[in-house]
Amino acid sequence: MAIGVKVMERPEQGVSYVRATLKGMALTFKHLLQPRVTMEYPEVRSDDEWRIATRWRGTHRMLTDEQGRSKCVACGLCPQICPANCIKLVPGEDERGNRYPLIYEIDEFRCVFCGYCQEVCPEEAIHVGVHYENAEYSRDRFVYDHERLAAQSHPVSTLWDPTDPRGE
């Protein structure tokens, strides 16, 4: 035996491969007869035992006011706090002096879905969404512009609630 190889003594008297095999066979056969636990995804998306968490942070959504205008005032806080630098904001100002985003784009590929943009937003405009089906046919479709963000309709994340840390 090579130098430094520690040979463990095996507990030969206590173990039995025959019995372990039979035990395993019995166990797998029991599972064979048990009900299936798979949730069949495209047909079933949630049931009583499982639903997507309300604090889930998925692709963004821009909320709008009653007139259908974006709530964003182009304050620049979200691109400032964004750790992934994925928000592109060019502010503009209308004739009454109201600021609004000329360009507001989020690159969902760069985004790390931390949810800081939602936390920092003073107008509760930008939100991360409870949403996970994002497939597209090309990469450039993953840069969501302002119009598209405002057109999203999925529920928005509640984020983490410190008074209810386990989300119950």
Partner 1 sequence: MTPELKGFIFFSAIKMLVVFTTVLVGVALLTLMERKVAGWIQNRPGPNRVGPWGILQPAADGIKNFIKEETLPAGANRGLFLLAPALSFIPAVSLMAVVPLAAPLPVTVDWTLPLIGQLTWDGPMPMVVADLSIGFLFVLAISSLGVYGVALAGWSSNSKYSLLGGLRASAQMISYEVAMGLSLIPVLLLTGNVALSEVVTRQQEGLWFVGPLFISFFIFVISGFAETNRLPFDMPEAESELVAGYHAEYSAMKFSLFMIGEFAHIVTIAAMIATLYFGGWDIPFTTWDTQGGVLQTVLTFLAFFVKMFFWIFVVMWIRWTLPRFRYDQLMSLGWKVLLPIALAYIMVTAGTIWGIGQTLPEASPVMQSLVLLGLNVVLGWLLFYWLDRGRVVSGVGARTPVQLRVEA
Structure tokens at 21: 């095999």
Contact 81, 111 (CB under 8 A): no
Q: Is position 31 an interface residue for partner 1 (rule: CB under 8 A)?
A: yes
Q: Is position 5 an interface residue for partner 1 (rule: CB under 8 A)?
A: no
- Give the Cα separation of 49 and 66 in Å (integer): 36
Closest CA to 60 of 47, 70, 51: 70
Q: Is position 8 an interface residue for partner 1 (rule: CB under 8 A)?
A: yes
Question: Can you name the residues that pair with 99 across neighbouring β-strands?
Answer: 93
Q: Is position 165 an interface residue for partner 1 (rule: CB under 8 A)?
A: no
Give the pairing type, strands 99-107 and 87-93.
antiparallel
Q: Please, what is the minimum distance in Å from the beta carbon of residue 13 to partner 1?
A: 6
- Give the Cα separation of 19 and 35 in Å (integer): 26
- Looking at the Cβ atoms of 2 and 153, the one nearer to partner 1 is 2
- Looking at the Cβ atoms of 37 and 135, the one nearer to partner 1 is 37
- Looking at the Cβ atoms of 1 and 15, the one nearer to partner 1 is 15
- Looking at the Cβ atoms of 19 and 166, the one nearer to partner 1 is 19
Question: Can you name the residues that pair with 106 across neighbouring β-strands?
Answer: 87, 144
- Compose the 33-72 pattern: x for residues touching partner 1 by CB under 8 A, - for all others: -xxxxx-x--------------------------------
Q: Please, what is the minimum distance in Å from the beta carbon of residue 49 to partner 1?
A: 14
Angstrom distances, CA of residue 42 to CA of 36, 48, 70, 129: 17, 17, 32, 20
Enumerate binding residues for partner 1 (CB under 8 A). 8-9, 11-19, 21, 24-25, 27-29, 31-32, 34-38, 40
